[in-house]
Structure 1
Amino acid sequence: MAVSSPMVLSLLLLASLTALLVLAPRLSPPPQPAVAAAAGEDAPPRPARGGGLKGAASGGGVGAAGVGEEADDLRLFRRAALEAAAGEEAAGPPKVAFLFLTNSDLTFAPLWERFFAGNAARFTVYVHADPAAALRLAPTPSFRGRFVAAKPTRRADASLIAASRRLLAAALLDDPANAYFALLSQHCVPLHSFNRLYAALFPPSPPPSAAARHRRLPSYIEVLTGEPQMPSRYAARGEGAMLPEVPYERFRIGSQFFTLARRHAVLVVRERRLWRKFRAPCLPEAAQDECYPEEHYFPTLLDMADPAGVARYTLTRVNWTGSVAGHPHRYAAAEVTPRLIDELRASNHTHPHMFARKFAPDCLGPLLAIADTVIFKD
């Protein structure tokens, strides 16, 4: 018998509306976090969701203290790890991926362009630029269109680790030929020619080829123990906060800037166990002097996972003499001389230093003036 009573119809309609209101939050997608836009008309464009560089993450908010595991980052990291594990074969020689982590203009792009010249088949460039920074596009071709979608970063905060992982993931997804991943800042400059760097990373025997990409190449990352600041840095999140994943005897410190072999880049983007500890915010009283998670996470992870596979030193020279508030010495134009380049290259390890920081913007002119006669003359 058909339902015709107005009262029954009204009750059915009311029940339907009630069910819709109850289920609506479950059926609707969650609101998307706001994306911080870069200021200035010349700021680098941010790739849209699903656009830009292959594997670039979509924009999203970052907490003021510490970084959460946001869904878009997790998707990016999982995809990078899975595609890398699939082992897509790359044509041509192995490449060096240069990962620039910046919150200001890429002042030294002209110097890097001269460094890259003639080696287009052997390198790639990726830039993670803080969305809050008003950056002007580098006027050189190697940096155009190489910006990955970025999120805010802050000193003494795990957001710097997250940004480095985004760069690694984007580079892994973008080109299977990327065999080394060099993390640099906008204040870094090269100390040798590209050919000298390439020969150091890929020894000529066996020749650079597909076979070279499958060798167990070492990663160049500083791994230090027994440093006087280690106890306070380990306890920066509170007594016992790093346990049980990171006991004190396994905690390491080192330089923020590294050159990782591909297998270690995959390890970093895949790893979550230690990341849960290092992403936790530091105690307020430790934030200024002991909280440098970007100097702790990578050396601790790699030393725990593959201690024999890392060289335990970095290829990037930093001068900590007279450091102020955790910042290294910053070279000014008057200090740029051939003698300085020689001093910065010197190393007690297998390879000389290939890069150096921290240089002020006014150093560009003096560095370009000696680029061909000193820096790139090996």
Structure 2
Amino acid sequence: MLASSPCFPTTSSSRSPLLLSSILILLSLPLFFLLAPRVLPPRTLPAIPASDELDDLALFRRATLASPDVRLLGSPGRRTSPPPKVAFLFLTNSDISFAPLWERFFRGHAGFFNVYVHADPTASIVSPGGVFHGRFIPAKPTQRASPTLISAARRLLAAALLDDPANAFFALVSQHCVPIHSFRFVYRAVFDAATAADRGRRPRYRSFIEILSGEPGLWDRYVARGDQVMLPEVSFDQFRVGSQFFVLTRRHAVAVVRDRRLWKKFRMPCLKSKEDSCYPEEHYFPTLLSMQDPAGCTGYTLTRVNWTGSVGGHPHTYRPGEVTAELVRNLRRSNGTYSYLFARKFSPDCLDPLMELSDSVILRD
């Protein structure tokens, strides 16, 4: 009896720590789930703030309701008041270094174009004046590997739709883009393409936007937000890729700002593990227009980009020593139906050699 009695406290003491540990684990679970998002690294890249989404929704609704019937717009050679215009949409996160070249490009063509600038408010960007004076629209921050670049382009389209019902084409360019033809050439190129295609009928303008399928790495980009996230709105066989820079018709600009169905998918942030495959701005516009009106798109971009030797998703950047008359002529050439009208990417210090070529080469067709 005496020999066996010590067994009771020994067994009790061995069970108590185990029981206590179990109770502590159960009690700590709610605290773990509460603090985990702050302690563990985020699973996705930053999302668009809800306040930005609400502001955009109101803007896009106004632009959609205010847009007139684009079929009433005239074409070059047909008397209209005012004539149809090209809206140039500058998307930038730094100073517009090539403003003097663009000034020379626009000179003498007032009444045939409008300028709009979306400048990232987190950067200290100074208006260069001239045609850019008073043309900066309310902007939100943008960043790579983020749908914020799509939002910025949509804001530019909405602002241009609201500002002038004569805007018939909408050309998206960046601070690194330069014209490689005269304004007269550019204007005739976008309008005459529609007129020639319609063979004398009322012109139905077409958008110049690159739309590609079956490209290498497309599946990785499709699942950048998750394996099944894009379904059912966008199946993989509907997923497209193309240049971020385009020239859209007015009806397609309206379609973009009106869209809610595809946007609810593309606005979702990419998984952090898929950051290297996250380029939503290269997919949203070609996918949307390919699904809605493929016959209304040429399938070509009018902006020439050199991807030879690209680094980190950035194309080749031209330096002053590369800027020659021969380079400009080569950049114009295309294997497709249409000549290139713009080119990128140029470093800011290319301004002087480009200005030297402006009258003799760039703006002389």
Q: How far apart in 2 are the matches of 1:305 and 1:204?
A: 21
Deviation at 1:202, TM superposition (A): 1.5
Deviations 1:225-271 (A, max 9, x none): 11011010001011111000000000000100000011000000000
Deviations 1:276-321 (A, max 9, x none): 000101010111x100000000000000000111000100001000
Q: How far apart in 1 are the matches of 2:225 and 2:58?
A: 28
Amino acid at match of 2:256: V
Residue 346 (structure 1) aligns with: 333
- Using a 3 Å threshold, how does the CA distance of structure 1 residues 205 and 132 change in structure 2: closer, same or farther? closer
User: SS of 1:202's equivalent?
Assistant: helix
- Tell me the TM-score normalized by structure 2: 0.82
Amino acid at match of 1:109: A
- Does residue 219 of the first structure (1) align with residue 207 of the second (2)? yes
Give the conservation status (yes or no) of the 8 Å contact 2:309–2:316.
yes
Residue 337 (structure 1) aligns with: 324
Deviation at 1:324, TM superposition (A): 0.4
Deviation at 1:67, TM superposition (A): 5.4
- Does residue 290 of the first structure (1) align with residue 273 of the second (2)? no
- Using a 3 Å threshold, how does the CA distance of structure 1 residues 281 and 204 change in structure 2: closer, same or farther? closer
Residue 107 (structure 1) aligns with: 97
Q: How far apart in 2 are the matches of 1:342 and 1:185?
A: 21
- Structure possessing the higher radius of gyration over alpha carbons: 2
Q: How far apart in 2 are the matches of 1:328 and 1:169?
A: 28
CA RMSD of aligned residues (A): 1.9
Residue 371 (structure 1) aligns with: 358
Amino acid at match of 1:108: F
Q: How far apart in 2 are the matches of 1:83 and 1:321?
A: 43
Amino acid at match of 2:265: K
Q: 1:232-311 residue pairs with structure 2 within 5 A? A: 232-287=220-275, 289-311=276-298
Amino acid at match of 2:144: R
User: SS of 1:121's equivalent?
Assistant: coil
- Using a 3 Å threshold, how does the CA distance of structure 1 residues 220 and 86 change in structure 2: closer, same or farther? closer
- Using a 3 Å threshold, how does the CA distance of structure 1 residues 322 and 205 change in structure 2: closer, same or farther? closer
Residue 138 (structure 1) aligns with: 128
Residue 24 (structure 2) aligns with: none
Q: How far apart in 2 are the matches of 1:149 and 1:215?
A: 33
Give the conservation status (yes or no) of the 8 Å contact 1:67–1:159.
no
- Using a 3 Å threshold, how does the CA distance of structure 1 residues 352 and 67 change in structure 2: closer, same or farther? farther
User: SS of 1:273's equivalent?
Assistant: coil
Deviations 1:81-136 (A, max 9, x none): 11114668772211000000000000000000000000011000000000000112
- Using a 3 Å threshold, how does the CA distance of structure 1 residues 312 and 135 change in structure 2: closer, same or farther? same
Residue 217 (structure 2) aligns with: 229
Amino acid at match of 2:226: G
- Using a 3 Å threshold, how does the CA distance of structure 1 residues 112 and 239 change in structure 2: closer, same or farther? same
Q: How far apart in 2 are the matches of 1:309 and 1:157?
A: 28
Residue 302 (structure 2) aligns with: 315
Amino acid at match of 1:356: A
Q: How far apart in 1 are the matches of 2:241 and 2:49?
A: 20
- Tell me the TM-score normalized by structure 1: 0.79
Amino acid at match of 1:83: A
Amino acid at match of 1:249: D
Q: How far apart in 2 are the matches of 1:248 and 1:261?
A: 26
Deviation at 1:363, TM superposition (A): 0.2
Q: How far apart in 2 are the matches of 1:80 and 1:91?
A: 21
Give the conservation status (yes or no) of the 8 Å contact 1:107–1:186.
yes
Q: How far apart in 1 are the matches of 2:261 and 2:158?
A: 18
Residue 63 (structure 2) aligns with: 80
Q: How far apart in 2 are the matches of 1:165 and 1:204?
A: 25
Count of residues in correspondence between the two structures: 310
| Structure 2 stretches lacking a partner, 5+ long | 1-44, 74-79
Deviation at 1:70, TM superposition (A): 2.2
Which one of 46, 56, 64 corresponds to residue 46 of structure 2? 64
If each structure's helix is expressed as a fraction of its own residues, which one has the higher value?
Answer: 2
Deviation at 1:361, TM superposition (A): 0.5
Amino acid at match of 1:129: A
- Using a 3 Å threshold, how does the CA distance of structure 1 residues 348 and 135 change in structure 2: closer, same or farther? same
Q: How far apart in 2 are the matches of 1:246 and 1:166?
A: 23
Q: How far apart in 2 are the matches of 1:84 and 1:70?
A: 21
Which one of 173, 198, 203 corresponds to residue 187 of structure 2? 198
User: SS of 1:320's equivalent?
Assistant: coil
Give the conservation status (yes or no) of the 8 Å contact 2:208–2:297.
yes
Deviations 1:170-218 (A, max 9, x none): 00000000000000000000000000011111129969xxx99x73101
